[in-house]
Every structure is written in structure tokens, then in C-alpha cells.
A and B are shown apart, each in its own frame.
Chain A
């Protein structure tokens, strides 16, 4: 370091450069804060309205901060519609689909990543082709199938069709392929069967990928709308999303404070889970990064 002698005083050129950079950053922060405020605005308006009394909701000009905080809107949501039941239904469906998807996708991914079998390529293309067929296209026949099975208004009707997921299979297969083959050979020599190898070695090693798959599965099912709309008729089988839609649709659109409280309750779980898992994402990423070195 001693070889480099710094000038005692910064030159004028340095000062202009520093000023320019400072101004650039200040401008960057200003622009982004304005943009962020615009994007967040609907959320703030949702929360603000959810705490307003009936009169203040219809006030003009509108107020951003409620004069009196009406927490009872949140209580009212639970009283006026069976939201507890909707919550239970959504939780059961999303949790079971997530677990089921992880199991079925891991099994299929293992077969595609680590086994040689007749018809492997054909099977792979068959799985790939399912990603092109969307719910919309198969809506009518799927509904008829469910009706034949007498699965309308049941949990299995909401759960079973979503246990298989080709995207999940491909993502997990990708993670499985990256695991060195030596591990498998060593395990085989020790007399470890395929299922045990999958459960005790592959799955722990690919935990970050499985966690992100679980997040996708849970969010996708918690937020899903079209399928639950079609296969549920009874109020006690509705999921949160459908419950919210009928709640808002049925009340003659006046109770906006209570509606917004319901919207908050519906959206908060997924946002919370996202923040929780985001942290473990970063952690698992850091740990695998270290392992590679």
C-alpha cells in the first residue's frame, strides 16, 4: 500500500465525480420511492378501508388514516360468513396438495433422473405434453369426470387432480441429476434400496429445490380460483377465494370496510409464508454455495 501515494487534497475532478454520483443515487432513490409508493398504494388503501367505519368509508374527500380504528370489521368478517370454514378448507386443500405433490414429483423425478427403463423417452414426452394442456381446455370433461366419481363438493375433488405436476417433476429431476453418481453407488454397495436412498440421501440434499417447489404448490393452490369455483356448490366446501367472491358479490356492495378486512385476511397468509420462506431460501442458497467451494 505504501507504494501508492494518495494526493493530499482531492482534485476538483474527483469532487465533481463524487457529487455526480451522489446526485445520481439521490435521484435513483427518489424515483424508486415514488414508484414503490404507487405500487403499494392499493395495499395501503385496502388496509386503511378495512379499519374504517361505515360513514368514513363513503367520505369525500377520502381519508388515508381512519379517524377511529374500527377493528370490529375483522370480527364481523368471521361472523357474517363462515370464513373460519373457508380458512380450514383452503388450508386442508393447499397443505395436502403440497405434500402430495412433493411425494409424487420426487418419485417420478427419481425415475427420470436415476433409472433406465423401457419407454423412458416416451414417458418423458408424455409428461412434458401435460404442461401444454391447461385447466381451461379440459374444464368441461374434468368436471364431468368429477361428477361421475361423485367427487363434487368433496376434498378429494379439490385435491387429487393437482397432486401430479409435470413442472415439479422437471425441476426436482434437475436437482437430482446434479447429485454425484458416486453417492448412489456407495449406497448400493451398502445395501441401500432405491426408496431409502431417495428418502435418506436425495431428498435431504435437494431441500432448497423442494422448499421452492412446496412454496409454488402451496401458493398456487391457496390462490386457485377456477377449479374450486366449478367443483364446489355448497357453502361449507368453498375455499377462501370462492368464499370471498360470494361474500363480496352477495352483500349489495356497501360494506366496503368489511370486504377489505376479508381481502386482508385472504391475502395475508401467503404473504407471511413468502417472507418466512424467503429467509430460508437465502440461507440454503448460502450453504449450498459454501459446499460447492
Chain B
């Protein structure tokens, strides 16, 4: 390059060739994205927007839809009859979500127990993971049998043998929700344990050795090393758990159908009842939009976990 002397204007100005720069590759890339994109458009984006639109209509199928603005939302919160059922479902949703921190505590304790290199530890890990991979429908059917209200139900027979009165379990308005929570913890802890074990094993061993040299005991080590370094994992498990809890449906539909006396009707189940039993599409969509807002907040919180993880690394 150094030797060549080129007078200005000798060379034609290279024409910017959009097709060569972007065209072919962009075209190919969109062809690669097309299958996913087409399905998302029809089954995710359009329904998401349409949900918001429908929530502004009174649409009791098979009647025609009529625009009513925010009336569906107003009804949910202020109509004496509607609001009672809806607010009850909101309360039930939060009540059901109490299973998430409970699950978190139990699975953390189990993960701490399982985080040892002794022969046979793999068998224990698999055993705790077994409920998680079993279908919720099958699990619900099995627990309906465990919770059977007659004396021969397994839990009742245990109570009887201890001389305690038998219970109605999922047919009792007070006990139904705790019953679902206990079953949910049993079903979900396997996943949490796996995540916690991965988190625990990623903590550098040097830190524990350093703490030992400083004379720390097991509790000190947990408080000073494990807990803070596991923070992001805990946060992740908590938000994912909440997101799943807000969407819980199968166990409610199989075991209680929202009953007894609406004691287990969560927002997700209320939505389903409104849409597919009462065919009130507008009202159901309003509940869907509110549920979406709650899920959105939780998801955005969960994305923050990614940032924090980067910070720790």
C-alpha cells in the first residue's frame, strides 16, 4: 500500500451493496427464524393482544360481544357478588403461594443434607426427584386416595391408629388448601433440590477452608459463606416457584374443582371457570390480564437474578 500512489478520483467509489452486506444473510436468518416466529405470532402474540381487547368487551358466549370499556375490571373489584368470588380467588392464590417459601426451606435443608460425597447419595437424590418427573395428574389421583375421607384412607387410618379423629381432608373447606400445599411441596421439591445442589457445589471450597481456619463451626459457615453465596439461587427458586404457583391448575381441577365452597379456587382456576364453564369471555380475559401483570412483575424480578449472578461471578 505504501508504494502505490493513487490519485483521487482514479477509483470509482465503491457502491454500498446492501444485498451483499445484509441481504443474503438477513434473508437466510429470517428463514431460520420463520417456523418459531410464525407459531409465536399465531399462538402467543396475537392471543396476548387479543386478551387485552376481549377484556374490554362484554362477551357472554354465544351472545355477541359489546364494548364496555373497563367495566369488566370495575365489576371484578366492586360488584357485590362478582367481587366476592374474585377477591376470594385472589386471597386463595396468595394462600396457595405460601407453599413456595415452605418448599424452599424444606428443599434447602434436604439439599444441604444431600450435598455430601458418600456412597448411595445418588439413590437418595433420585428418590427425591421422582415425584417431580411424575405427571401432576397421576400424582393428584394418588393423593386423592391418600386423602380419602373414609377411615380406610391412608392418612385417616394413620390418625385412627394414633387415636385421633379422622378428617375430611380435601373435602373440608379449611383443610383443603393446606392439603394441596403439602402435596405441592412433595411434588415440587425435587426440582428445587437439583437447583440448590448445583448452587451449593458451585461455591468454592476454599471459602469453607478459610472459614475453618478462622475457627468457624457449621452454623457460622452456613451463615457467612453458604447463605450469601446461595442468595441468587434462592432468589431464582423463589421467583420461579411463585410463577408456577400462580399458574397451578392440574391438581385443583383433578382433586377439588375449586371447592369445597370455593376454598381452592385460585385466580387461574377462576379464569378457567369463567371462560369454559360460564362462557364469560370478557370477564375471564380481564382476570387473565390481571394475572399477566402479576406474572410479568415476577418475571422481571427473575431477570434481575441474572444481573446479580454476574455480580457474584
Contact = CB atoms under 8 A, between A and B. Distances in A.
Nearest to B290: A137
A111 B32 contact: yes
Given A39-B127, A263-B138, A136 B268 contact: yes
Contact of B25 (A31, A32, A116, A144): A116
Given A108-B33, A270-B134, A139 B288 contact: yes
Question: Which of B33, B46, B151, B268 counts the most A-chain CB atoms under 10 A from its CB?
Answer: B33
Contacts of A226: 249-250, 272
B42 interface: yes
A43 B295 contact: no
A104 B39 contact: yes
B83 interface: no
Nearest to A194: B28
Interface in A101-119: 103-105, 107-108, 110-111, 115-119
B72 to A, nearest CB: 12
A58 B152 contact: yes
Contacts of A165: 36
Task: Count chain B CB atoms within 10 A of each CB in A133, A229, A260, A262 and give the residue with the most.
Answer: A133
B110 A263 contact: no
Contacts of B48: 133, 137-138, 141
B33 A107 contact: yes
Given A62-B152, A136-B247, A161-B39, A28 B25 contact: no
B37 to A, nearest CB: 8
B279 to A, nearest CB: 10
Contact of A117 (B22, B46, B50, B271): B22
A203 B54 CA distance: 43
A267 B186 contact: no
B88 interface: no
Interface string A265-293: 01100110010001000000000000000
A43 B130 contact: yes
B39 A248 contact: no
Nearest to B121: A32
Interface stretch (A71-79, A124-132, A182-190): A124-132
Contacts of A244: 137-138, 141
Contact of B36 (A144, A164, A225): A164
B69 interface: no
Interface in B130-164: 130-131, 133-139, 141-146, 148, 150-152, 154, 157, 160-161
A134 B295 contact: yes
A201 interface: no
Contacts of B288: 136-140
A241 B281 contact: no
A49 B157 CA distance: 15
Contact of B186 (A42, A126, A140, A248): A42
Interface in B64-86: none
Contacts of A36: 123-124, 127-128
A225 B32 contact: no
**Dominant SS among interface residues on chain A:** helix
Interface residues of B, number: 80
A254 B152 CA distance: 12
Contact of B46 (A111, A123, A141): A141
Nearest to B134: A267
A260 B143 CA distance: 10
A267 B35 contact: no
Interface string B280-309: 010011001101100110010000000000
Contact of B29 (A32, A58, A117): A117
Contacts of B36: 104-105, 107-108, 127, 163-166, 169
Nearest to A123: B33
B276 interface: yes
A219 interface: yes
Interface string A188-203: 0000001000000000
A262 to B, nearest CB: 8
A43 B137 CA distance: 14
Given A62-B157, A226-B249, A164 B35 contact: yes
Interface in A156-171: 160-161, 163-166, 169
Contacts of A46: 142, 145
Interface in A226-259: 226, 229-230, 240-242, 244-245, 248, 256, 259
Interface string B48-72: 1011001000000000000000000
Contacts of B152: 57-60, 62
Contacts of B22: 117-118
B116 interface: yes
13 contacts: A36-B128, A61-B160, A107-B36, A137-B291, A137-B292, A139-B284, A142-B43, A223-B135, A223-B136, A242-B137, A256-B145, A259-B145, A270-B134
Given A141-B51, A219-B133, A230-B276, 7 more contacts: A57-B152, A111-B28, A117-B22, A123-B33, A133-B292, A140-B54, A164-B36
